[in-house]
Amino acid sequence: MTTKQLVVGVLLGAERAGKLMSGRTLLQKVTYFVSRAMKMDAGYRAHLYGPYSPSVRAAAGSLVQWGLISESETTVDLGFAGHDSPGVRYDYRVLRPAIERALERLEEKPRKDIERAASIAETVLEISDNAFDLSLAAKLYYLWAQEGKALTLAEYVQKAGDKGWLLEPKQVRQGAKILGQLMKRLKLDRS
């Protein structure tokens, strides 16, 4: 499965779940969990808001250029004092019938992989469609998988800090709650 097919599957899953893929961070985090559930290496590494994949970002850009998905800008209030200008959020959707024509041209295996990615994305978005919450859960999962063992609350805070992620104990507990649901429903492991 290519990263472009993975992104298409994630966006189809969002559409089926009746959810808007609101923002690049949400797209990255949902795709992260889908790729992990599918045991696919999508090139994720530690970044500002948790695991980030330049390949996923590039795939989304290519799919926009090809007219298979849309990327629309929404002005948003960043919600903190001292910031005079509003921010921009990029929302993503599949474009029909272009996406259907593209899927028809694929062989059976890639279509099945895209369908599986869509189903997993639906599950992720049922658990949470909040980019901040999924970012917390993704950071914890990334650290857990990297360490190869369960970590204490203090270890999560410390290891997150080592990556430049400032997590408070309250946020670790919040992320762990969502991660627990994701791990159970997606049958995630450290591999």
pLDDT (tens digit per residue) in 77-98: 766 655 566 789 999 999 999 9
- Percentage, residues of the chain above pLDDT 70: 96
Residue 72 near residue 189 (C-beta atoms within 8 A) = no
CB-based contacts of 86: which residues, under 8 Å, 6+ apart? Answer: 75, 76, 77, 78
Residue 16 has pLDDT above 90, yes or no: yes
Domain-located, residue 53: yes
Q: How many domains does the chain have?
A: 1
pTM given for the model: 0.94
What does the block give as tokens for 62?
Answer: 């290519």
Domain-located, residue 61: yes
Each residue of 85-137: pLDDT tens digit?
678 999 999 999 999 999 999 999 999 999 999 999 999 999 999 999 999 99
Domain-located, residue 191: no
Domain-located, residue 111: yes
Range of the domain at 116: 3-186
Average pLDDT over the chain reads 94
Q: Residue 35 and residue 28: Cα distance in Å, rounded? A: 10
The closest alpha carbon to 141, from 106, 92, 191, belongs to 191
Domain-located, residue 174: yes
Peptide bond into 86 cis (omega under 30): no
Domain-located, residue 115: yes
Q: What are phi and psi of 4, to 5 degrees?
A: -60, -45
Q: Residue 77 and residue 83: Cα distance in Å, rounded? A: 9
Q: Residue 150 and residue 140: Cα distance in Å, rounded? A: 10
